[in-house]
Amino acid sequence: MEGMDEIRDTFFQEAEELLGELERGLILIQEGDRDSETVNAIFRAVHSIKGGAGMFELDRLVSFAHAFETVLDDLRSRKIGLEANGLKTMLRSADLLSDLVRTARAGEEMEAGREAVLMAELAALSGGVADAAPSAFDAPELPAGPVSRLYDIRFTPLAALYANAGDPALLVRELHRLGTATVSCDASHVPDLSELDPEGAYLSWTVALETTESEDTIREVFEFVEGDCILEVIAGEPMVVEEPAVVEEGDGFDVAALLARMQAELGDGPAPEATPSPFDMPFAPDFSADFSNVVDLADMRPVETPAPSPAPAVEPVAAPVLAASPAKTEESKASSAPAPAAGATIRVDLDRLDRLVNLVGELVINRAMVAQRVVEAGLSNTAAVSVGLDELEQLTREIQDNVMALRAQPVRSVFQRMSRLVREVGEAVNKQVQLVVEGEGTEVDKTIVERLTDPLTHMIRNAIDHGLESPEKRLEAGKPLTGTVHLSARHASGHIVIEVSDDGGGLNRPRVRDIAVSKGLIPADAQLSDEETDNLIFLPGFSTASTISNISGRGVGLDVVKRSVQALGGRISIASRPGRGSTFTLALPLTLAVLDGMLVTVADQTLVLPLTSTVETLKLKPEEIHALGSSKLVTLRGAFTPMIDVGRHFGYRHAPADLTKSVGLVVETQGNTRTVLLVDEIQGQRQVVIKSLETNYGSVPGIAAATILGDGRVALILDVDALVSEASASASDFSFAIAG
């Protein structure tokens, strides 16, 4: 089939959504939901995954989904009840199902036999051996019998066949496909019109079929109507070659004549019933040659109030509903789009969306340039063109917001994955944990949603492993045995704020401090506020776990989390209350296309610093500057902080900056390291549209990207992390200076 790759993508996308629904449903049930619709929904989810997987011959996925579905089917038909154990098996099955989907999507093969245990558990739940899943494709058709036989087929439809919109003419035609058929119709049981039940079944057919096909194949033709007809297939002796059988006319039964007779009777007789009861009576058609004729006749069946009119009889039947005229076809084409339902969606290629986002970025820049020209031309603020530009600004801003919203997605997809994580981590460290999720509908740029998984995974692992106390300690402290991890998302002042909090013991500040000192991260006599102490855990090389568990001991510390959050232009912090728990707070921008920047001047160049990395600005006094080898340090509240002269660093000038005319910008980089950047002047804060330098020019160390200013000039956006590590690589290591 064509377009299969695209459909495959659709399948996996849909499967992800269905897995989400499955997870959500199971959690609801875990929380005590006993609504039958919930069970139905999870059954449907697994069922749909199975159905789709079958189309792509993902056999392992199909068989596991089948075993899972069987249990869910029993559950919804109340054949089995649900116990805690059963629910656990189902949750784990959901996890495995999602693993199977993901490995299938990646085109990988999961290690053999991983399903075995769960398959057995599922089979035990449904109280028996899981029946084999349907094979991916039907068995090949039976090979044609070598010899030709003459079969005598007698076929008498029952009323039920017609009621289900079955059509004997089509069945007879199917027989024609198998060989040479001689058909005759027995209409002798058709009663007089006065006694005729329009929905009755009065006709039967006899077909002499000469074919090389087997009897089974013949019976297969009647598969759909089995039970709705009386069928006899009598096989004759194998035949010797015979002259080609001539298809005969059906038994002298003349449709036109019957119709004419009916019309005549209707015309004379009482008026037809008011209800437009369709004549659901199949007329024995002329099978001899022209089959299109049969179809036409068949189409005429739903007669709406037959108008009593003179011959020719076949013509006058009122426009049959089903006989689609060309005009009708047009009409149905036009209306073929389903009625726009609420929440209708359209899928758009991501590239197109990104192109649009880029174009809007250009538009914003262009508008700013025009505005600048207007100012340069010396026009007043009240000039018509300025007023017009203001309106244009309003519009572009709205367009920008709306376009950004196109890329926005709810964080739900990431949040959903966390419940599995909580289960697994909880089991691994023997703690009972419940996850409470809030605001999963909060929307943020798709790229940010995708990159949230890692930091969130880490924070949640950390919350369970280090945050929550052991069950014994919780009982001692008079807390409920089951610990709670809260995961929430909300919008706040142009950012999305995500919080992960636990109701555990909170950070052990004296210990945090001891570790930081023992690892040489802070001087032994450093004066730190509670907040500063708490944030020490984000330092590289800090780990409070005295025993490395396989949960958080993956060689990744919270410093990595902090770095990945910063890479997204966000910030992370922790607040802790002893005995009450800790809260990680993550603040991220809503989009990656626009940056809140601090514009500064360095040697007549305009540079942009990400606002998120800027902590404070200060006027420097000469007595606070200390030289240390080739580099300089600033005393910042008693702590030595490295200083970078940005103009010299980038080679804009060779002479050192004039301190009396310079401004210091305190920036925070990886692991809370603070550095002072020396610039000439601060221009102000502004939102800038990020333009990739790499795609337009090339990668430059210390420069993250570029933007175009209102006057049309290009301004470089500094990569503060790279700048600082580059500068400190050439100087000595001042890691103790972080205590600022």
Partner 1 sequence: MTKTILTVDDSRTMRDMLRVALTGAGFNVVQAEDGVHGLEVLAQNSPDVIITDINMPRMDGFGFIENVRRDQRCRVIPILVLTTESDAAKKARAREAGATGWIVKPFNTTKLCDAIRRVAG
Which positions lie near partner 1, rule CB under 8 A?
Answer: 1-4, 6-7, 10-11, 13-15, 40-41, 43-44, 47-48, 50-52, 54-55, 57, 134, 136-138, 163-167, 169-171, 173-174, 221, 223-224, 227-228, 275-278, 280, 291, 294-295, 298, 301-302, 321-322, 324, 328-329, 332-333, 335-336, 338-339, 341
Give the per-residue SS3 of 580-595: CEEEEEEEEECCCCEE
Between 338 and 629, whose beta carbon lies closer to partner 1?
338
Cβ within 8 Å of residue 203, ≥6 positions away: 156, 157, 168, 185, 186, 187, 189, 190, 282, 284
Terminal C-alpha separation, the chain: 65
The CA distance from 45 to 47, in Å, is 5
Q: Could you tell me how far CA 61 lies from the centroid of its own chain?
A: 19
State the minimum distance, in angstroms, from the CB of residue 344 to partner 1: 10
The CA-CA-CA angle for residues 528, 461, 475, to 5°, reads: 85
Core vs surface per residue 531-564: b (16+ CB within 10 A) or e: ebbbbbbbbbebbbeeeeeebbeeeebbbbbbbb
**Could you tell me the two tokens for 406?**
């196109």
Between 47 and 149, whose beta carbon lies closer to partner 1?
47
Please name the helix (run of DSSP H) or strand (run of DSSP E) that holds residue 153, with its range, or none: strand 149-157
State the minimum distance, in angstroms, from the CB of residue 287 to partner 1: 13
Tally Cβ neighbours within 10 Å of residue 671. Answer: 20
State the minimum distance, in angstroms, from the CB of residue 67 to partner 1: 13
**Could you tell me the two tokens for 510?**
């004296």
State the minimum distance, in angstroms, from the CB of residue 80 to partner 1: 19
State the minimum distance, in angstroms, from the CB of residue 406 to partner 1: 20
> Do strands 495-502 and 581-589 pair parallel, antiparallel, or not at all (unpaired)?
antiparallel
**Could you tell me the two tokens for 24?**
């959500």
State the minimum distance, in angstroms, from the CB of residue 214 to partner 1: 17
Residue indicated by tokens 């598969």 = 223
Give the per-residue SS3 of 345-358: CCCCCHHHHHHHHH
Between 105 and 367, whose beta carbon lies closer to partner 1?
105
State the minimum distance, in angstroms, from the CB of residue 156 to partner 1: 17
> For residue 86, which amino acid is it?
G
Nearest to 586 by CA among 575, 576, 597: 575
Between 333 and 619, whose beta carbon lies closer to partner 1?
333
State the minimum distance, in angstroms, from the CB of residue 457 to partner 1: 28
State the minimum distance, in angstroms, from the CB of residue 543 to partner 1: 45
Cβ within 8 Å of residue 308, ≥6 positions away: 263, 266, 267
Between 68 and 584, whose beta carbon lies closer to partner 1?
68
State the minimum distance, in angstroms, from the CB of residue 134 to partner 1: 6
Between 170 and 625, whose beta carbon lies closer to partner 1?
170
The CA distance from 94 to 420, in Å, is 9
State the minimum distance, in angstroms, from the CB of residue 64 to partner 1: 14
Query: Cβ(634)–Cβ(622) under 8 Å?
Result: no
CA dihedral for 288, 293, 299, 300, sign (positive or negative) = negative
DSSP letter, residue 337: S
Between 166 and 361, whose beta carbon lies closer to partner 1?
166
Residue 320: is the preceding peptide bond cis (ω within 30°)?
no
State the minimum distance, in angstroms, from the CB of residue 319 to partner 1: 11
The CA distance from 373 to 361, in Å, is 19
State the minimum distance, in angstroms, from the CB of residue 451 to partner 1: 26
The CA distance from 326 to 341, in Å, is 28
Give the per-residue SS3 of 540-552: CCCCCCCCCCCCC
Residue indicated by tokens 């189902």 = 90
Between 97 and 718, whose beta carbon lies closer to partner 1?
97
Q: Is 205 helix (H, G, I), strand (E, B) or coil?
A: strand
> Do strands 639-645 and 631-636 pair parallel, antiparallel, or not at all (unpaired)?
antiparallel
Between 168 and 467, whose beta carbon lies closer to partner 1?
168
Between 141 and 604, whose beta carbon lies closer to partner 1?
141
**Could you tell me the two tokens for 420?**
């599995």
The CA distance from 406 to 348, in Å, is 10
The CA distance from 174 to 205, in Å, is 14
Between 78 and 328, whose beta carbon lies closer to partner 1?
328
State the minimum distance, in angstroms, from the CB of residue 336 to partner 1: 5
Beta strands in 179-304 (DSSP E): 179-186, 204-211, 229-238
Between 311 and 322, whose beta carbon lies closer to partner 1?
322
State the minimum distance, in angstroms, from the CB of residue 41 to partner 1: 7
Between 10 and 696, whose beta carbon lies closer to partner 1?
10
Between 12 and 415, whose beta carbon lies closer to partner 1?
12
Q: How far is CA 107 from CA 8, 101, 102, in A?
A: 12, 10, 8
State the minimum distance, in angstroms, from the CB of residue 223 to partner 1: 8
The CA distance from 368 to 361, in Å, is 11
Between 5 and 111, whose beta carbon lies closer to partner 1?
5
Q: Is 200 helix (H, G, I), strand (E, B) or coil?
A: coil
Between 13 and 402, whose beta carbon lies closer to partner 1?
13
